[in-house]
Amino acid sequence: DSGVTQTPKHLITATGQRVTLRCSPRSGDLSVYWYQQSLDQGLQFLIQYYNGEERAKGNILERFSAQQFPDLHSELNLSSLELGDSALYFCASSDRSGQGENEQFFGPGTRLTVL
Amino acid sequence: DAKTTQPPSMDCAEGRAANLPCNHSTISGNEYVYWYRQIHSQGPQYIIHGLKNNETNEMASLIITEDRKSSTLILPHATLRDTAVYYCIVRVAINTDKLIFGTGTRLQVFP
């Protein structure tokens, strides 16, 4: 158990819908990262937040957005869903902002299926 | 971040050492080598990282060549539970610490 929790575990929805994935980092970790893992693209970095502020952006679509709240939990919002958005979405946390070495601890993931 | 090259798959007998190689010939002086693994569809798990010196922890050892162009992750006594995809990642530790995953090595440990 990494200490990172993600809900829901599974999500099935239809094209065009909007969903919210939730992540609670390990106690004391200020950084939250979101990754997407699909069959054809592998594990891809989406976005990082540090202490409530966006720190880095990867290949995140404009239809996707995220935020980190004062209690440090994070939500990833996916809208206008397409079949290709079906994937595993992982959240990770670390206690660093990016300077120096750090380990990222990953949650169990949310499996999103878009029908 | 420097690109890494790993063999797509490897086999190892249970109880034997698993040696997973990684090439990172374009690595620069301030880039660390990280290893993560992913068991089936679980979240990736941090294993070990290093800069220049060899490193060891309770899970594995990391051997980095003197020129830092390649490294080897060693699982000293592989078990069936070590069957996973192993990712070697090279990362510069400035401003952002996003991880760029390649395709990794699928390690199959057999009885």
A58-100 pLDDT, tens digit per residue, is 989 999 999 999 999 999 999 999 999 999 999 999 986 555 5
* Percentage of chain B exceeding pLDDT 90: 74
Between chains, do B94 and A111 touch, taking CB under 8 Å as contact? Answer: no
Q: What is the pLDDT of residue B38?
A: 96
Flag whether pLDDT at B83 surpasses 70.
Answer: yes
pLDDT tens by residue, B1-29: 668 999 999 999 999 999 999 999 988 88
Q: What is the pLDDT of residue B2?
A: 65
Between chains, do A106 and B45 touch, taking CB under 8 Å as contact? Answer: yes
Flag whether pLDDT at B41 surpasses 70.
Answer: yes
Structure tokens given for A113: 């299926």
Q: Is residue A94 a contact partner of residue A100, using CB atoms and an 8 Å limit?
A: no
In terms of phi and psi (left: phi > 0; alpha: psi -120 to 50; beta: otherwise), the region of A42 is left
Q: What is the pLDDT of residue A98?
A: 52
Judging contacts by C-beta atoms under 8 Å, the chain B residues touching residue A45 are: 98-100
Which candidate, A41, A43, A42, places its Cα nearest to that of A33?
A43
Between chains, do B97 and A106 touch, taking CB under 8 Å as contact? Answer: no
Judging contacts by C-beta atoms under 8 Å, the chain B residues touching residue A99 are: 93-95
Residue A38's pLDDT band, with cuts at 50, 70 and 90, is: very high
Residues B48-68 have a mean pLDDT of 94
Q: Rounded to whole angstroms, how far apart are CA atoms A113 and A111?
A: 7
Distance from CA of A56 to the nearest CA of B (A): 6
SS3 (DSSP) at B80: helix
Residues A37-58 have a mean pLDDT of 90
Residue B96's pLDDT band, with cuts at 50, 70 and 90, is: low
Give the burial class of A48: count Cβ atoms within 10 A of its Cβ; 0-12 exposed, 13-18 middle, 19 or more buried. buried
Structure tokens given for A99: 């300077």
- Is the C-alpha dihedral spanning B1, A103, A76, A21 positive or negative? positive
Q: Rounded to whole angstroms, how far apart are CA atoms A84 and A15?
A: 10
Flag whether pLDDT at B95 surpasses 60.
Answer: no
Amino acid occupying residue A12: I
Between chains, do A108 and B42 touch, taking CB under 8 Å as contact? Answer: yes
Q: Rounded to whole angstroms, how far apart are CA atoms A68 and B20?
A: 37
Judging contacts by C-beta atoms under 8 Å, the chain B residues touching residue A43 are: 38, 44, 87, 99, 101
Q: What is the pLDDT of residue B94?
A: 60
Q: Does B94 touch chain A (CB under 8 A)?
A: yes
Q: Does A58 touch chain B (CB under 8 A)?
A: yes
Between chains, do A94 and B97 touch, taking CB under 8 Å as contact? Answer: yes
* 8-state DSSP, A84: G
Q: Rounded to whole angstroms, how far apart are CA atoms B20 and B6?
A: 8
Q: Is residue A101 a contact partner of residue B49, using CB atoms and an 8 Å limit?
A: yes
Q: CA nearest B93 in A: which residue?
A: A100
Q: CA nearest A90 in B: which residue?
A: B43
Between chains, do A106 and B102 touch, taking CB under 8 Å as contact? Answer: no
Residue B102's pLDDT band, with cuts at 50, 70 and 90, is: confident
Q: What is the pLDDT of residue B39?
A: 95
Distance from CA of A69 to the nearest CA of B (A): 20
> What's the mean pLDDT when you consider all of chain B?
91
Q: CA nearest B92 in A: which residue?
A: A100
SS3 (DSSP) at B81: helix
Q: Is residue A34 a contact partner of residue A68, using CB atoms and an 8 Å limit?
A: no
